[in-house]
Amino acid sequence: MPNIKGLHHVSIKTKGAEQFSKTVQFYRDLLGLPVIRQWQNGDTLGAMINAGNTIIELGSNAGDVEHSVSAIRHIALGVDSVDECVDLVSNAGYEIIIQPKNVEIPSDPVYRVRIAFCIGAAGEEIEFFEEL
């Protein structure tokens, strides 16, 4: 059996350098996540952003592919305050697709959380997830 240590990174592809730059700014400048690596390979830009217990890898090489929901539905970021994150991204002009709400996941024991969703700079769905 292989020794799986955990999720290393999530990859987001952007449509070119302009959207790549906006996406880096969203995660780095707006959400305050540090860029730990950047590179350029020909016309393709890349970056890895430290999201605490995983990495968000960005690449500017999505081409003309339309972003759509696939088998992976969203990125969930664990946060201290869902409401603070929603205020921050909403005030920056990003769409909130699910407003902050408390949810009780009917597990044993019941898991109480507060969640909200927005659309990021590359069209990705982002969930802000706060344990209550």
| pLDDT, tens digit (0-9, with 9 covering 90-100), for 21-61 | 999 999 999 999 999 999 998 889 999 999 999 999 999 98
- Residue 67 has a pLDDT of 58
- Residues forming beta bridges with residue 38, ordered by sequence position: 47
Q: What is the DSSP letter of 95?
A: P
Q: What is the DSSP letter of 28?
A: I
Confidence of residue 86 (pLDDT cuts 50, 70, 90): very high
- Residue 91 has a pLDDT of 97
Rounded to whole angstroms, the Cα distance separating 103 from 92 reads: 26
Q: Which position has the higher pLDDT, 1 or 67?
A: 1
1-62 has which CATH code? 3.10.180.10
Which class does domain 73-132 fall in? alpha beta
- For the whole model, what pTM was predicted? 0.87
Average pLDDT in the chain: 91
Assess contact for 89 and 30: CB atoms under 8 A.
yes
Mean pLDDT of 95-110: 96
Mean pLDDT of 56-77: 77
Residue ranges of the alpha helices (H) in 1-132? 16-25, 82-91
Mean pLDDT of 101-123: 95
pLDDT at 118 over 80: yes
| Domain(s) of CATH 3.10.180.10: residues in the chain | 1-62, 73-132
pLDDT at 12 over 80: yes
Assess contact for 70 and 62: CB atoms under 8 A.
no
- Residue 71 has a pLDDT of 67
Find tokens 């217990």 and name the residue: 53
- Residue 6 has a pLDDT of 84
